[in-house]
Structure 1
Amino acid sequence: MSIPFIDLKAQYRALQPQIQARINAVLEHGQYIMGPEVRELEERLEAYTGAKHCITVASGTEALLISLMALGIGPGDEVITTPFTFVATAEVIVLLGAKPVFVDIEPDTCNIDANLIEAAITPRTKAIMPVSLYGQPADMDEINAIAARHGNIPVIEDAAQSFGAEYKGRKSCNLSSIGCTSFFPSKPLGCYGDGGAIFTSDDAIAQACREIRVHGQSKRYVHTRVGVGGRMDTLQCAIVLAKLERFDWEIAQRLEIGARYNQLLDEIGFKRVIQRPDRTSVYGQFTVLCEDREAVQSSFQKAGIPTAVHYPVPLNEQPAYKHLCCPDCTPIAKETAKKVMSLPMSADFSYEDQRTVCNLLKTGVHDA
C-alpha cells in the first residue's frame, strides 16, 4: 500500500509547466536575491490576505523572530503563548532573552485557551502569540480584546500551519497586529525549501521588519537597527507564485477532504480535533485523539500507511525550556500530547485512500 502522508509529487505534476516556467525566468534574469518575484509575491499575498504589508522572509521561524525584534522585545520581557506547538514558537522568544509564559490549551481544538490568557498577563507582558494549530485560527477576537484591555499588547498570530484559513470571514495572517506564516514544503502553501512571510497593516512595524530582514539596513550600508540575514530567496518566491495558480482549488479540496474525514470518523466514533463553526481549517494536519496511540500507530505501520505526532511533548516539558516554568501548569496540553496522531492529508488525497485510512481506524484499536 502506498499512501503518502503529504502528496507533493501529485501537486508538482499538476503544476509542472508553471513551476518550470517560473524557475526558468529566475535563471534567465539571474537576480537570485531580492529579485522581482519577491515583491510580486508580496503584492499577491497582500491582496490575498487583505493585510497592508507582506514581508517575505527566510522561514516561518525567521518571521516570528523578526516580528519580535520589530516590537523591541528582549531581556526581561514576557510573551504569552501555548506549549502545544512546534518548538520555533518558544525558541524565538528565548533567543531574544525574553521569557515564554505558557498558557494551557482547549481540549477540543488544541489551540490556546483564550479564557486563561488574562490571568497570565503581568507588567512584563510585551506580546501574546497564539498559534493557529493544525490549520485552524485560535479565538482571535477574544485574544485581541484581552490585549486591548491591557494597553494594546501586540498580538502575533503564529499562522505557520493556517495560511488560507478564515476566521469570521477574515483571512488568517490578517487577524491581529502581526501574522506570520511558513512556506515549508509541507505547509498548505509551500515552496521547495525554507520560506515564510510577515503580515501587518502597521507601517512602522512593516518598515522595521523590512530593515531587520536585511541586516538592519534602511539603505545600503546604513544599518539603523540590529538585524539578521532573513531574506526569502527569489527562486522560492517564484515557486510559491506558481503554486498560487491553483491555491484556491487546493483550499476547497482541503475543506472537502476535512469534512469527509469528520463525517467518516463520526460514523466510527473516533475522536478528533474539532473545528469551530465560525472559522475554517486548512488542515495543515488532520489530527485524531487515540487513547492507545502506540497500538494505533503500530497497526498503521503494518499496513504501510504513514502517521505523525504533532506534538509528543509540550514545550514546557522539553529539556531546553522546562526550567522556565512549571511543567504541570498546563495539564490539558500534557494529556493531549499523549493522544494526538495526524493522518495523511493533502489537496490531492483521494477518496479511496481516505476510506482506507478510516477503515483501518475502524478495524484497529479504538479510543477507550
Structure 2
Amino acid sequence: MEKRSTVPLADLAAAHRENAAALEGAALEALRSGRYILGPEVAAFETELASYVGVGHAVGVASGSDALLLALQALDLPPASKVVTTPFTFFATVSCIVRLGHRPVFVDIDPASFNLDVGRAGETAADPEVRAVIGVDLYGDPLDYDALRVAVGRSDVKIIEDAAQSFGSELRGRKAGSLADAAAFSFFPAKNLGAAGDGGAVATDDPELADRVRILRVHGARPKYRHHVVGYNSRLDPLQAAMLRVKLRRIEEDVRRRRRIAERYVPLAEVAELPRPSSDHRHSYNYFVISVPRRDELAAHLNEKGVGNALYYPEPLHLQPCFTDLGYGEGDFPEAEAACGRVIALPMYPQLTEADQDYVIETILGFYR
C-alpha cells in the first residue's frame, strides 16, 4: 500500500473552515465590543451551556484543569480528605486533589469501558475518611453515576464528574455534565466542544456550589477587593465564549458524525478490541480508542504510513514519580496497567472522510496480516 498524505488524529483547521464565517464573525464582534473580561458574552454562553446540559448553573473558567480544581474546592471538604478516583486518566483529574491538600485513593478500572470500577469504588468509599469520588467519562463514554451512587451508599460522599472528554454524551437520556454533584468540562481545542485555546466550565444544580465557583474564579473576591477565600485568576475569556456559542449550536450534528465514523471502524474488530458502550450510554467519541497487541509496533507503523495516532495514556498515574509518596507500586492496579500497554487512539473528527478512514483501516489490517 502506497503511503499517502497524512490522515491526522484530529483536524482543527478543517473544523474551522466548515464554519469559518460564523466563528470569525462572532470573534470579531467580541473584539469590537471592548468587553474582554467576563461580561455579557460569557454570561450568555453560561446560560446556553446550562440549558444544553440540563443543569441550573454553568460557570466558565480558564481551563478544564481549573474546572476540576474549583469544583473540588467548592465542595468544601474537610482538610486532608480522601478522594477516590481512577489511575487511568489525564493528570489533572488527580493533581487537583493533591493541590488542595487531599489524598487520592486509586481504584482499578473496568477493562470493558476503561472507566472506574464502580463496585470497587463503592467498597473503597466505605472508609469514613473518603469524602468524595471523581469519576471520569473516559474517551466520551460516561461512567454509570447512578450505579456509583448506589455502590457508594453515603450521602456525605460528594461525586464530581470529570466530563472533559464527554461533551454531548448521554447516560439514560441525561447529558454528561448533569450526572453528579458537579461536573468539569474542558474546552481544549481538540475536545468535542473546543475553543481556540484553553477554556473550561463547572456545571451543577447546586446554586451555592456554583456561587462558590464564581467567587473562586475571581481571586475569592466579592465585591472586588473584598476577599473571602484565597481564589484564582480563572475566567473564561469572552472571545472564547463567543466562538463556543457558535460551536454549541452544531454540537448535536458533530456528535452524530462522530458516532457514524465510530461505526465505520467496525472492520477493525478482526484485529482489535473496539469500544463497547452499553446500550443506555450515548458515547460521543471524543477519542476513538482501540486495544491491540503489539501496540507500540502498530504506532510506529502508523507513523510511517502517515496515520495520526496517540496513546491515552501510556503510564498510569499511580506510577508517576510525583505520586510516589502515595505508596502505590507496579501491580497494584493490573487492569489500568494493562490498558496502558494496549490502547491507541485513531483519527476521529467530524470531517474525517470515508476515503481517509478506509486508508486508516486498511493500514491497520495490513499490519496484522
> TM over 0.5, yes or no?
yes
Instruction: Please state if 1:132 is matched with 2:137.
Output: yes
State the match for 1:257 in structure 2.
Answer: 261
In structure 2, C-alpha distance between the alignment counterparts of 1:279 and 1:312, rounded to whole Å = 26
Distance 1:276 1:330 in 2: 23
Matched, 1:313 2:315: yes
Q: How does 1:36-75 map to 2 (within 5 A)?
A: 36-73=40-77, 75=79
CA contact (8 A) 1:156 1:178 kept: yes
In the alignment, is the contact (CA less than 8 A) between 1:110 and 1:133 conserved in 2? yes
Contact 2:123/2:151 (8 A) holds in 1: no
CA distance in structure 1 between the aligned counterparts of 2:193 and 2:219, rounded to whole angstroms: 27
Q: Give the residue type in structure 2 aligned to 1:337.
A: C
Q: Secondary structure at the residue paired with 2:194?
A: coil
Deviates more, 1:13-22 or 1:322-331: 322-331
Q: 2:352: which partner in 1?
A: 349
Cα 1:318–1:74 shift into 2, 3 Å:
farther
Cα shift at 1:35: 2.4
**1:75 CA drift (Å):** 4.0
User: How far apart, CA to CA, are the structure 2 residues paired with 1:34 and 1:353?
Assistant: 41
1:51 corresponds to which letter in structure 2? V
Q: 1 CA distance for matches of 2:119 and 2:358?
A: 37
Partner Cα separation in structure 1 for residue 311 and residue 271 of structure 2 = 20
Letter in 2 for 1:36: P
Structure 1 residue 5 displacement after superposition: 1.0
Q: Is the 8 A contact 1:73 1:96 kept in 2?
A: no
> Which residue number in structure 1 is paired with residue 225 of structure 2?
221
Considering only aligned residues, what root-mean-square deviation do their CA atoms show, in Å? 1.3
What is the identity, as a one-letter code, of the residue corresponding to 1:131? V
Q: Displacement of 1:193 after TM fit?
A: 0.7
8 Å Cα contact 2:119/2:151 also seen in 1: no
Q: TM-score, normalised by structure 1?
A: 0.96
Q: Equivalent residues in 2 for 1:11-50 (5 A)?
A: 11-50=15-54
Residue 273 of structure 1 aligns with an amino acid whose one-letter code is P
1:359 aligns with 2:367: no
Following TM superposition, the consecutive aligned residue runs of length 4 or more in structure 1 with deviations greater than 6 angstroms are none
Corresponding pairs, count: 363
Q: Deviations over 1:302-330 (max 9, x none)?
A: 11111100000000000011321323321
Q: Is the 8 A contact 2:116 2:136 kept in 1?
A: yes
TM-score for both structures, normalised by structure 2 = 0.96
Which has the larger displacement, 223-232 or 194-203? Answer: 223-232
Match 1:2 to one of 1, 6, 22: 6
Alpha carbons 1:74, 1:97 under 8 Å: kept: no
- Contact 1:82–1:112 at 8 Å: present in 2 too? yes
Report the secondary structure of 2:250's partner residue: helix
Contact 2:113 2:276 in 1 (8 A): yes
The question of 1:174 aligning with 2:184 is answered: no
Q: What is the correspondence of 1:132-151 to structure 2 with a 5 Å cutoff?
A: 132-147=137-152, 149-151=153-155
